[in-house]
Amino acid sequence: MSYSLFYDIGIAVAAATLLAVAFNMLKQPTILGYIVAGLLIGPVLGIVKDTAAIANFSEIGIALLLFIIGIELDLKRVKQLGLSPVFVGFFQVIATTVISYFLATAVGFSPLQAVYIGLIVAFSSTMVVVKLLSDKNELDSLHGELVLGILIVQDLLAVFAMVLLATVSSFTPAALALVVGKGAVLILSAIAAAYVLNKVMKYAVTSKELLFIFALSVCMLFAAWAAFLDYSLAIGAFIAGIILGNTQYNYEVAGKVKPLRDFFLTLFFVSLGMQLTFSNSQGLLVKTAAAALMVVVLKPVITFIITKAFRFGNRTAVLSSLQLGQVSEFSLIIVASGVALGHISNQFFTITALLTMATFALTAYAIKFDNAIYSAISPFVQVFERLSSKEKHLNNIAEKPKGHIIVFGVYKIGAKVIKLLRKKKQKIVVVDYNPEKIRGLIEEGVSCVCSDMGNWDIDKMLEYGAAKAIISTVRDKDNNLALIGRIRASGSKSPIVVAAYSEEEASELYKKGADYVVLPDQMAGEYMITSIIGRKRSQLRKLRSSRKE
């Protein structure tokens, strides 16, 4: 028996590795490779017969995945993002779930299946989106911050949905009260554990092996405690991750556990592929196509409308909507739980797996070409920019300004530039489409325009020709190229300074008409070498104190 188990796991890992390499070469998410590997060694070729054994191992992968997500869920970051992403994420999930439910029942899904479809469509993949935005260096952009906030809210609501679905078969007011009561016990015990662990962690980090075992034991103990309270192992692991993620040692813990997570998670996705069934393939494809339209069309449209309702610009709303147009890894976990609970069949899981593969692939291209897509549809969404009257209250720019410095972007670099210019008593006009940041600057007496830098309607208002200088701290090559083109086309001779990520981007921006391109990463390295290295500790403390002032 042990030999058979070892053989099955060995075949599963080997097949997953080969398919992951192939999908990586095709620039597709490796998760899809794992699922296809399971499909090949299971239903197609029948190499692995005992799928239950691998499925049992894969449950550890689910728990470790949620454990890592919990560790990386920085509650302080949620606070920094403000309330807008929280409200957008909440209303997006509710609206998408409800509308998808009614559409799913209309195309032949049962009411309970339609509930699962609504949840599958509503949630998006944190793992895929963050990876793709990170590759494009757009996590610090406004739409990147908005999407990150929405994904965090979705992850929390997904865990809550898993709890509710577990009570569906025996739902009564008393049963719900019992679930809520046990949940309160779980949360209170987590708060108590967090207080104790903050005291104990400093001893665990003295040894790499001890830190690994300590983190794993916290994960497993909370998973077992959650199971004792009739919650899933995954929810207990998620809470354990949140506890450890909000200590000062969160990066060390995540780094130690991730390799183990990756191994068991590989088995999880392979086992999903083994469960695919293709009976009644015609009806299967029709239902999958209907669900795919909900994900790639309905959800982006809903997200766009809700984002615009919270007064974000067209570009931010469109890019955020495009980037959320896929299903989540949580969708697979929710459906796998639904199959285990007897709510849905394996064929329903097949629909979800096909949906995951299709939408993950589409997202990779949507994010890669998001600026081109926005440019193509921009004329059709401009009406929303004009109809939004509330933003006008966030514009306090003087009519026909003169001798001013225009600053695009209130991000990390932009905030420092604005602070320095104000200190030097310069006349500035700030352009950004984060209402909360703009509102704060207006209260401080700064002239502002609440708009996206890609909005042509603000050009006359800004008076490029009369500006003393124009600065863009937004490191977005396409937007900066368009901005430079518009400024030069207006006949303005004002100096243009923009930011970029690389010397290749800088070269393109210079050719377009930029007068100077700032490379913040390069400047930081040069500053470290010339101004910091070689100084004594007392000198560095003095330098630090002067910068705080």
Dihedral angle computed from the Cα positions of residues 429, 431, 435 and 440, in that order, rounded to the nearest 10 degrees:
-30
Determine, yes or no, domain membership for 523.
no
Residue 432 shares a structural domain with residue 394? yes
Residues 42 and 72 grouped into a single domain: yes
Task: Please report the pLDDT score of residue 99 as a whole number.
Answer: 92
pLDDT at 380 over 80: no
Which of 356, 378, 400 represents a domain boundary (last residue)? 378
* Residues 8 and 116 both lie in one domain: yes
Distance, in Å, from the CA atom of 56 to the CA atom of 233, rounded to the nearest integer, reads 12
Distance of CA 3 to the CA centre of its chain: 41
412 and 362 share one domain: no
User: Rounded to an integer, what distance in angstroms lies between the CA atom of residue 196 and that of residue 53?
Assistant: 37
Question: Cα angle vertex 444, ends 443, 448, to 5°?
Answer: 75
Look at residue 302 in the predicted model and tell me its pLDDT. Answer: 92
User: Which of the given ranges, 292-306, 379-393, 432-446, has the highest pLDDT on average?
Assistant: 292-306
Q: Which of 361, 363, 333, 353 is nearest to 36 (CA)?
A: 353
How many domains does one find in the chain? 2
What value does the mean pLDDT take over residues 189-216? 74
Task: Tell me the percentage of the chain whose pLDDT exceeds 90.
Answer: 3
pTM: 0.67
Instruction: Sort 442 into a burial class: Cβ within 10 Å, 0-12 / 13-18 / 19+.
Output: middle
200 within some domain: no
Q: How does the average pLDDT of the chain come out, rounded?
A: 78
Number of neighbouring beta carbons within 10 Å of residue 463:
21
Same domain, 346 and 402: no
- What is the per-residue pLDDT across 215-251, written as a single tens digit (0 to 9) for each? 888 888 888 888 787 777 777 888 888 877 777 666 6
Q: Higher pLDDT residue, 368 or 317?
A: 317
d(CA 173, CA 326): 35
pLDDT of residue 58: 65
Task: Indicate whether 346 and 397 sit together in one domain.
Answer: no
- Has residue 201 been placed in a domain? no
What backbone phi and psi angles, to 5 degrees, belong to 428?
Answer: -125, 155
Q: How confident is the model at residue 281 (pLDDT cuts 50, 70, 90)?
A: low
Does residue 350 form part of some domain?
yes
- The answer to whether residue 177 is domain-embedded is no
Asked whether residue 137 is assigned to any structural domain, the reply reads yes
Could you give the CA distance from residue 31 to residue 27 in angstroms, rounded to a whole number? 12
Amino acid code (one letter) for 89: G
Q: What is the CATH number of the domain that holds 280?
A: 1.20.1530.20
Angstrom distance (rounded) from CA 82 to CA 149: 9
Query: Looking up tokens 């984060």, which residue turns up?
Result: 434
pLDDT confidence tier of residue 1, bands split at 50, 70 and 90 = very low
- The answer to whether the CB of 146 falls within 8 A of the CB of 316 is yes
How many angstroms separate the CA atoms of 447 and 527, rounded? 32
- Of the pLDDT bands very low, low, confident and very high (cuts 50, 70, 90), residue 331 is confident
61 and 99 share one domain: yes
Residue 204 lies in a domain: no
Kindly state whether residues 17 and 70 are assigned to the same domain: yes
389 confidence band (pLDDT: 50, 70, 90): very low
The residue-averaged pLDDT of 509-532 equals: 80
Task: Assess whether 298 and 372 both reside in one domain.
Answer: yes
Q: For residue 540, tell me if it sits in a domain.
A: no
Are 67 and 122 in a shared domain? yes
366 and 408 co-located in one domain: no
DSSP class of residue 465?
Answer: G
pLDDT of residue 535: 72
pLDDT at position 137: 65
Q: What is residue 94's predicted lDDT score, i.e. its pLDDT?
A: 92
Phi, psi of 172 (to 5 degrees): -145, 160
pLDDT above 60 for 403: yes
Query: Can you give the pLDDT at residue 175?
Result: 62
Q: What is the CATH number of the domain that holds 465?
A: 3.40.50.720
Q: Give the DSSP H/E element, type plus range, for residue 499.
A: strand 496-499
| Percent of the chain clearing pLDDT 70 (strictly above) | 81
pLDDT band for 140, please (50, 70, 90 cuts).
low
Query: Do 420 and 448 belong together in one domain?
Result: yes
For residue 410, what are the domain limits?
A: 390-518
Is the pLDDT assigned to residue 549 strictly greater than 60?
no
Q: Residue 159 pLDDT more than 80?
A: no
pLDDT in tens, 49-86: 666 666 666 667 677 777 777 776 666 666 655 677 88
